[in-house]
A and B are shown apart, each in its own frame.
Chain A
Amino acid sequence: MKQWWLRPGVRVVAALLLPFAVPAIITALIWALPGDPASIICPPENCGGTEILAKRWGLDQGPVAFFVGWVQDALQGDFRNSWRLQMGVPVAELLWEAVPKTAMLLAVALVPVGIGAVSGSTGVLPRVLDPLLYVVGLVPAVVLGLIAAAMVELSYGVASFEAEGELARLLAGAAVLGLADGAFSGAVTGTRGLVRAEATQRYVGVAVLRGEATLSNMLPNVALALAGQLRARAIHLLSGAVVVEVILRINGLGDLLWGGTLLQDFGVVLAAATGFAVLSSALLLAQALVEVMVALHIRRSPSLGASA
């Protein structure tokens, strides 16, 4: 791209639109399906008079009115009430409880991923370990989650739902997320491949001849790709968080989304999916920030002509 600000600019716009696009798409999907939305969410054989339900849930005014009203309320921190999961309880209360736990889970799960990325790029983990890493990476989150849940239950018993046990479940969940589904092995091999490919560039050889450190020379050039990889891995972790939170009984956003989906609580699903969209937006903004910082660094660095 010719303009350096275009790529981060697009990301910022995408980050701002994503939390609105997600509920819009879900709302559109509900109305796009054959039949009236209230019947889809709660079939008449289960719920009886769907006209009354449609009025209570705000579905009787059409998709645009529903979406606009929901967004207006959400912007004021009111995500309306749960329809079925915890009937009548404000969804905002459930969200405020869930979001910090998922954010914490994600942050701790990024530690093994970060360790993998650093050890991969510095060559601490030799390539001979790649087959082992790959095999470990094949284990799905549900299997590792079960093992972690059993370990926590055996270690803490009934006390696993007290403060210390909850912390243990969070840490175990983060470890599962960081290792399962190729998160750790992907971080090692992904960053190693990137750094090794960059190290073959001519300017790195010139930097070595000039007695300069290779990492500081390469970093501005690989930072963008590394930031992209890290964001993709963080989103992958968020996806796995749904499974891990339910198995390890962590009351996070994934658990909330699952509960809402299972009981067809459209209000909870709309809010929880928007919560995930907000987390994804934060990751997009972080990537845009890295891109801006790299671009500014490159522009502030002395040109080759000046150094010569």
Chain B
Amino acid sequence: MRRWPAIVVAGICLGTLLAGAAMAPEHLSQPVMDLAYASPSELAPFGADNRGRPLLEYATQGARVVAMPAITAGLLVMLLGIFGGLLRCMASAQANTWIQGLSEVLGALPRMVVILVVALVLPPESRGLMPMAVAWALLSAPGAMDEASAVAGRLGGARFVEALRAHGYTAARIFGYHVVLLNLRPVVVRQGAEVMMQVVFLEIALSYLALAEDQPSFTHPDSLKSWADLLNIGYPSLVLEGVPTQHALWLGLVLVGLIAVMALSVGRAARAR
């Protein structure tokens, strides 16, 4: 994929997510039983749930739940990835060993186990997706730092920096432009985009699991709906005849696809030359 199409697709997906989050109402509309199970043609654009409430509100509230935590996690991983790459360029021979060691230690346990422990120990008033997103980002960061460090190593590390210094370049130009923008960018942006996507999928998974057990979610207050609610509303249409909620399932899947396409295109946009 060339750069511009990828940038346009990424921009559209990210813009849709942020616009949805900004448009999200504080609470769902009052039920209108006449519109129960309304299809998209009956209640534009996405139809209604079993109580006649528009699925558009589910979609926008779900975007609100995930938008900021996912973006924060992505940016955190990008920053730490850049830090890992720069550390390698600063002639810190031991840094790479430490990063690899940290990666091994943090990677020794399944991430979901750590996230659930974080969910357990968080006081009820501090619950939300943000702490889990930050925890997920911190668990993902050593891998990103390791990869960025490897890229910087292939570049020549400290010798590359010395060579550019010999040309009389300033530190800002060497590190900011040549190291980060030209060389680390593809790796750290892809890693950040992947973590963004993973955080969204984490939220959907945690909320769906809570719905499956008929319990409140760890990731958002009860007044908000997650994209997992769309999957939960739509799932019976797969296994029971006469439950007309396929449109909710499809909307949930399209939103999952939107996030995957966004991550893919952001990574491509950063990689393409």
A: residues with CB less than 8 A from B are 14, 18, 22, 26, 29-30, 33-35, 40, 43, 138-143, 146-147, 150, 153-154, 181, 232, 235-236, 238-243, 246-247, 254, 257-264, 266, 269, 273, 276-277, 280, 284
Contact = CB atoms under 8 A, between A and B. Distances in A.
Contacts of B110: 235-236, 238-239, 241-242, 276, 280
B204 interface: yes
Given A143-B256, A266-B120, A239 B201 contact: no
Interface residues of B, number: 37
B121 A40 contact: yes
A30 to B, nearest CB: 6
A142 B205 contact: yes
Contacts of B119: 261
Given A26-B121, A35-B123, A246-B213, 18 more contacts: A14-B105, A18-B108, A18-B109, A26-B117, A40-B121, A140-B205, A142-B204, A143-B253, A153-B239, A235-B110, A238-B110, A243-B205, A257-B116, A258-B209, A262-B210, A262-B213, A269-B117, A273-B117
For the complex of A and B, the 3 pairs showing the least CB-CB separation, nearest first, are A239-B110, A150-B238, A140-B201
B116 A258 contact: yes
Interface in B193-250: 197, 201, 204-205, 208-210, 212-213, 215, 218, 228, 231, 235, 238-239
B264 interface: yes
Contacts of B238: 146-147, 150, 154
Given A143-B253, A266-B120, A269-B116, A235 B235 contact: no
Given A138-B260, A259-B213, A280 B208 contact: no
Nearest to A249: B212
6 contacts: A140-B204, A143-B231, A150-B235, A235-B108, A242-B116, A247-B209
Interface string B118-129: 011101100000
Contact of B113 (A143, A153, A257, A262): A257
Nearest to B122: A33
Nearest to B124: A43
B120 A142 contact: no
Nearest to B208: A142
B31 interface: no
B159 interface: no
Nearest to A43: B124
Nearest to B113: A276
Interface of B: 104-105, 107-113, 116-117, 119-121, 123-124, 197, 201, 204-205, 208-210, 212-213, 215, 218, 228, 231, 235, 238-239, 253, 256, 260, 263-264
Contacts of A40: 121, 123
B113 A146 contact: no
A251 to B, nearest CB: 13
A30 B263 CA distance: 35
Given A142-B231, A273-B113, A280-B109, A262 B215 contact: yes
A14 B208 contact: no
Nearest to B215: A262
A242 B235 contact: no
A79 B112 CA distance: 22
Contacts of A34: 123
Contact of A239 (B112, B218, B235): B112
A240 B121 contact: no
Contacts of A269: 116-117, 120
B239 A150 contact: yes
B139 to A, nearest CB: 10
Contacts of B209: 242-243, 246-247, 258, 262
A139 B119 CA distance: 24
Contacts of A43: 124
B239 A154 contact: yes
A26 B119 CA distance: 12
Contacts of A264: 120
Nearest to A283: B108
Contacts of B260: 138-139
Tell which of A29, A153, A242, A247 has the most Cβ of chain B within 10 Å: A242
A29 B109 contact: no
Contacts of A232: 107
